[in-house]
A = this chain, B = another copy of it.
Amino acid sequence: MSVLALAGGVGGAKLAEGLAAILPPGELTVAVNTGDDFEHLGLRISPDIDTVLYTLSGLNNQAQGWGLEGETWNFMAALERLGGETWFRLGDRDMATHIERTRRLKSETLSEITADFARRLGITHTIIPVSDDPAPTMVATDEGLLAFQDYFVRLQCRPRVERLEFPRIADARMSPGLAAALSAPDLDLIVICPSNPFLSILPILSLPGMREALTNRRAPAIAVSPIIGGKAVKGPAAKIMTELGMDVSPVGVAEFYGALIDGFVIDDADSGLADAIEGPKFLVTNTLMLNAEDRRGLARDVVTFAREFALK
């Protein structure tokens, strides 16, 4: 089958890893959020793409979710001694990704570079950015309008979020791979991974033509809730939902996606909420991905669930 997964960072990468493990080579396309991308120390950094690359290649740090296993930090220590900026931690091995991406971006697209990195890291599925055009997410907060990484890393999500802004999104186009996947006649399934709906998925949905493409989908779209038992598995999703006046529950997430999804997957811990979800069909299963078997299990459940939806 042919599956398109929309993903952000850690949570999205986990389900993408599960899907990659159960699908034959080449059947999965992971389209990754680029709203977090930024320039730092003169380098073009794509945190979500890197998390997906490192996770699907098995090189990732399992404990923290992002970064590389066995990473060293000698660059960072030396940079600190020279008085450089150290609030965004860049590991020695991770630096190679940023240096090489930055160098190649002078003559290649982010899509081309990402595809080549994936191939070189032994990944047999397709990983693409949702866009080759920079469209950085800005976070409007009670401490002012902040660049994403200022909010997310430097200020550790402490400011109160008022809204997300995408000032350059009107000029951003879907990457060729994302546009092709969405319009492919043989697309069987669209998965919205359990990433932060606001920080990771909303930037994707805000790309010109994206909501229309999803609304006119011929393949079923299934989202997996990143909220379990009233909490986000990782990151500030629950805090942001509260700040935006939403119910911190899968119900709030399902409402956020609305008519863009056909199916919605929630955790066993939230089975009591199933009746409150209006619109999409729902599936209750284990969505907490603590290990590789959990990730494959959830991927299998999502793929099986998809069979309940007749092609439109």
A residues in contact (CB < 8 Å) with B: 41-43, 68, 71-72, 74-79, 81-84, 92-97, 99-100, 102-103, 116-117, 120-121
Contacts and interface: CB of A to CB of B under 8 A. Distances in A.
Contact of A100 (B79, B92, B99, B117): B79
A162 B100 CA distance: 35
B103 A75 contact: no
A74 B72 contact: yes
Contacts of A76: 96
A95 to B, nearest CB: 5
Given A75-B99, A78-B94, A84-B103, 15 more contacts: A41-B100, A68-B78, A74-B74, A74-B93, A76-B96, A78-B92, A78-B95, A78-B96, A78-B97, A79-B100, A82-B97, A82-B100, A84-B99, A84-B100, A95-B95
A103 to B, nearest CB: 5
Nearest to A42: B103
Contacts of A100: 41, 79, 82-84
11 contacts: A41-B100, A42-B99, A42-B102, A72-B74, A75-B93, A75-B96, A79-B96, A82-B120, A83-B120, A84-B100, A84-B103
A96 B74 CA distance: 9
A75 B92 contact: yes
A68 B81 CA distance: 14
B42 A121 contact: no
Contacts of A84: 96, 99-100, 103
Contacts of A96: 75-76, 78-79, 81-82, 84
A200 to B, nearest CB: 25
Contacts of A121: 81-82
